[in-house]
Homo-oligomer: A and B are copies of this chain.
Amino acid sequence: MYRTHTCGALRLQDSGIQTTLAGWVQTIRKFGAITFVDLRDRYGITQLLLGEALTKQLEENPLGREFVLQVTGTVQERSSKNPALATGDIEVNATSYTVLNKSATPPFTIQDDTDGGDDIRMKYRYLDLRRNAVKKNLELRYAVNRAARNYLHGQGFMDIETPFLIKSTPEGARDFVVPSRMNEGQFYALPQSPQTFKQLLMVSGYDRYYQIVKCFRDEDLRADRQPEFTQIDCEMSFVEQEDILEMFEGLIKYIFEEVKGIAYTEKVERMSWEDAMWQYGNDKPDIRFGMKIANLKFPGYAFPSKQPDLAEGLPQGFKVFDDAETVVAISVPGCSEYSRKQTDELTDWVKRPQIGMKGLAFIKYAADGTVKSSFDKFYNEAQLKSILNAAAASPGDLVLILAGTEERTRKAMSELRLEMGKRLGLRKDNEFKLLWVLDFPLFEYSEEDNRWVARHHPFTSPKPSDIDIMISTSPEIKDAASYLAHPYASIKANAYDMVLNGNEIGGGSIRIFQRSLQEKMFTALGMSHDEALHKFGFLLGAFEYGAPPHGGIAFGFDRLCAILGGSESIRDFIAFPKNNSGRDVMLDAPSSIDVKQLEELSLILKDQ
């Protein structure tokens, strides 16, 4: 061992002992004839004092930042202590040192606030990983990993590894494929998730399975998506939805406790998908703050079970509202005194292409009770007050109103709500609010193919009460206009998402475990009998031999870590991430391969 202690270990009570440390040179400060060196390792920083003799030695062979040093000396009390450092009371009075390795000058500073841009940091990721900020993220990631394993182990779950070289059954995202040399012309696929394997394990009787496992999706990468990502993947047998919800809110609460020291004792809130869309315009609402949507007007086909928040209907007279399919509002607390400049800026904000609204209406409900709106010409005060009432506005609030087509308007209002929450500081990094979203629709309509697609995946069970409808009805859709009238449109899934601070961190479902229902599902998704057998024959076969009722969940491990670390970016929580083109710029991968490799795989590259 090159060291007797780490650079984070020594304290005042160690004064007088001999020690050998090894680490990296963080800083070098010369004071006349003596030199102070801060030596850094994974555990901390220790100050070294190099006296006259060693300082002379240094003059001949100067040290530089990031040199690797082994130093022996005596621990002594510092004259000027540094309370910001755990080792700040002591220093090591060096008697000798050895340079274990030199370092070129790093292309950016190894500090929390580095001067390196994103590209250079990714190219030199091995240096970026030295920064305390990044190290803390990876330590948090490991702590979450460890806590998850300990909780699941304690609950009787078994880690069982599932294969990575599987069969390509694209449904939803694209598979990454792997040509097989030994089986010419054939390909493996990398798993998008271990979904079918964990279901097979339930059929095999391993009634509590988990894995923290890499998954792969060849998608066009939007910001903050990675082609390979990690899931906490779980499955249980002989359970109903309620059992899963309890087990896995337990998991997340345990992680909060172990990793963040937060006792999340309150019951996790639950909300139906319909209520989430109705109140927040979003199936993963951030419930750290209110500002629920007031539904002033909406079309008949959306939310058949809901009543508008204006019992008497939205007053006529303002053409923008009169012509709109949907009119929704939120009450932003304490913003009634917004200036013209501020409301103009908000209007520009909703008109950006990412939001896509034509304009923004607002009512200022002053603290003294007076009311002023951007459409005063068309509405009288009583009418304005009816809207304030519907939006549950209080004096001092600014009510923001969007109008347009149902889907776009609701989505825009969801974005606007989140933006206002952010501007008002209501989305705090250190506040955590969990939410279960339940009762999703089982199917979504694909206009492109005029057929149903699975909202979650093809293995999700309908609610027990909806099974008969699904079995007895043909999935055929006459035309796009009438899809909402089809009985399938109202079938609810036995599915659940866990939402943390407005991010979906996990999702799962109770699965289909009857062959006939699974076959009907494949039919509903437009798969022929032969295609279903070719792709999923093994699963249908397994369902013949005593499949138990089962269900599960998968958590997006990268995102969970990012949110717990108070960050929006999952890349900061992955040791070696890829960029938005799916490239590892450090490795320079992907790259061309040898002609010989291609030949062995019987592959030819198409002319480019």
Contact = CB atoms under 8 A, between A and B. Distances in A.
A171 interface: no
Interface string A530-554: 0000000110011111111100000
A177 interface: yes
A493 B498 CA distance: 52
Interface in A104-133: 104, 106, 124-127, 129-130
Contacts of A179: 177, 179
Interface in A191-217: 197, 200-201, 203-207, 214, 216
A243 B126 contact: no
A224 interface: no
B591 A167 contact: yes
A183 interface: yes
Contact of A103 (B25, B190, B544, B578): B544
A206 B129 contact: yes
A382 interface: no
A594 B175 CA distance: 11
Contacts of A594: 170
B593 A126 contact: no
Interface stretch (A341-349, A430-438, A598-606): A598-606
A557 B357 CA distance: 57
A378 interface: no
A102 interface: yes
Given A187-B591, A549-B100, A126 B66 contact: no
Nearest to A107: B545
Contacts of A200: 125-126, 129, 576
A305 interface: no
A106 B186 CA distance: 30
A230 to B, nearest CB: 6
A130 B583 CA distance: 42
A545 B126 contact: yes
Contact of A228 (B40, B165, B183, B205): B165
Interface string A161-172: 111111110100
A138 B603 contact: no
Interface residues of A, number: 122
Given A163-B584, A547-B101, A606 B608 contact: no
Interface string A558-583: 00000000000000001110100111
Interface string A404-443: 0000000000000000000000000000000000000000
Interface stretch (A142-150, A285-293, A462-470, A484-492): A142-150
Nearest to A146: B153
A227 interface: yes
Interface string A495-533: 000000000000000000110000000000000000000
A166 B230 CA distance: 16
A67 interface: yes
Contact of A187 (B185, B204, B227, B593): B593
A459 to B, nearest CB: 15
B1 A238 contact: yes
Given A130-B204, A576-B197, A597-B177, A24 B605 contact: no
A239 interface: yes
Given A168-B591, A546-B68, A581 B126 contact: no
A368 interface: no
Given A126-B545, A167-B591, A181-B218, A2 B605 contact: no
5 contacts: A41-B205, A135-B206, A168-B589, A177-B593, A197-B575
Given A22-B238, A23-B205, A126-B201, 10 more contacts: A40-B205, A126-B200, A164-B228, A167-B590, A168-B591, A168-B593, A184-B608, A189-B593, A538-B586, A604-B606
Interface of A: 1-3, 22-25, 40-42, 66-68, 100-104, 106, 124-127, 129-130, 135, 138-139, 141-142, 145-146, 149, 153, 158-168, 170, 174-190, 197, 200-201, 203-207, 214, 216, 218, 220-221, 227-228, 230, 238-240, 243, 513-514, 537-538, 541-549, 574-576, 578, 581-584, 586-594, 597, 600-606, 608
